[in-house]
Structure 1
Amino acid sequence: MQPVRLGPKTVRSAFGEQLARFLLTSGRGAVDLVQAAVRSAGEPEALAVVVDLFEKRLAEPLAAWLGGSQARVRSKAIIALASGVHLLRDALSEKPDEQEVLIELLGQIFQDLVDPPAT
């Protein structure tokens, strides 16, 4: 499965499920920003680089794609949740039947951040 990419062909209504499925079923990439952030926490210079990459490569483009009210905060919430799922994915989805339920639940959470329900 290919990583979720943001662009004109991204199907907004399927983003939450696609992201959840990717996080729980894909192989580990060569560059793992989550692990880099964890490892760099004690090194101010390294952490500054990771924070800069986070802002420029993840938070800003995602916020631009999301648009609307509080897009920047919603983008950071998506990234924070995705990071936690990625970090703990081996412990989260040990059984295939549980994995599908987890994908559905997490997909809905992500989707609600993409398109917040009307209040």
Structure 2
Amino acid sequence: MAQRKSPFRLCSAPAPRPRDAEQTRAEILRAARLLFATRGYANAGMREIARAAGITPALVVRYFGSKRDLFLAAIETDIGLAPFLGPDRATVGRHIARYFFSKPLRDADTLSILLHAAGDPEVRDLATELLNARVIQPLARWLGPPRAEARAALLLAIISGTWLFRQALPMRAFAGGPDAALASCLAAQIQHVVDGLPEP
């Protein structure tokens, strides 16, 4: 008696698709930024970052080496002056204020990462050096004399201080939609520093 053929064919399991290296790297950085921003450097473990990225801890090490190197890469991806400095120096205050108040709040903001890093001796100096090299010094060169580095630091303090009380420790004054009066005040302060400070 002839055997009947089964209507179901046995198929071999599909070969695993090769992992896209750039996508994997981006997923690791996205997970790392979120955890560094919300939990801080000390409390964000490599295993936890790997789990959030949907990969193994070995892959995190393969792509970034150490946790310290991963932290550096995480803040390097979104630190710089490009979004802030508009084409017209005379209106850069309005440009920065508009950018600042229109930018949506994010859990993985670089300033959140830096704020957490300030309390961690292991990466505080690293974050400070990177901030100086990527923000303060280029901004000082763009500002020019007098007292360029001091003005650059003051600008960073004004912007990051406003951010602090808008996102990390939100104040009622910054709640809701864009506030034209506050944006105008911030723009005037920034423009005053950009235009130069009187000698003491």
SS of corresponding position for 1:79 = helix
Aligned to 2:182: 102
Pairwise CA distance, 1:118: 6.1
CA gap 1:57/1:108 in 2 versus in 1, 3 angstroms: same
Match of 2:153 in 1: 76
Check whether the contact 1:24–1:93 (CA below 8 A) recurs between aligned residues. no
Aligned-partner residue type, residue 98 of structure 2: R
Match of 1:52 in 2: 129
Structure possessing the higher relative contact order (Cα contacts under 8 Å, 6 or more residues apart): 1
SS in 2 for 1:42: coil
Q: Is residue 95 of structure 2 the alignment partner of residue 18 of structure 1?
A: yes
| CA RMSD after TM alignment | 2.4
Q: Within 1, Cα distance between the matches of 2:88 and 2:134?
A: 20
CA 1:71–1:25: 2 relative to 1, 3 Å? same
Segments of 5+ residues of structure 1 without an aligned counterpart are none
Give the structure-2-normalised TM-score. Answer: 0.51
Q: 1:29-53: per-residue Cα shift (whole Å, max 9, x none)?
A: 6863321222112221211111011
Amino acid at match of 1:114: V
Partner Cα separation in structure 2 for residue 29 and residue 62 of structure 1: 24
> Which residues of 2 match residues 1-40 of structure 1 at below 5 A?
3-5=83-85, 10-28=87-105, 32-40=109-117
Q: Quick one: percent identity of the two aligned structures?
A: 26
Aligned CA distance change for structure 1 residues 53 and 117 (closer, same or farther; 3 Å): closer
Larger Cα-atom Rg = 2
Question: Deviation string for 1:38-93 (max 9, x for gaps)?
Answer: 21122212111110111011000100000010010000000011001112225343
1:11 offset after TM fit, Å? 0.8
The two structures have a TM-score, normalised by structure 1, of 0.81
Q: In structure 2, list runs of 5 or more residues that go unmatched.
A: 1-81
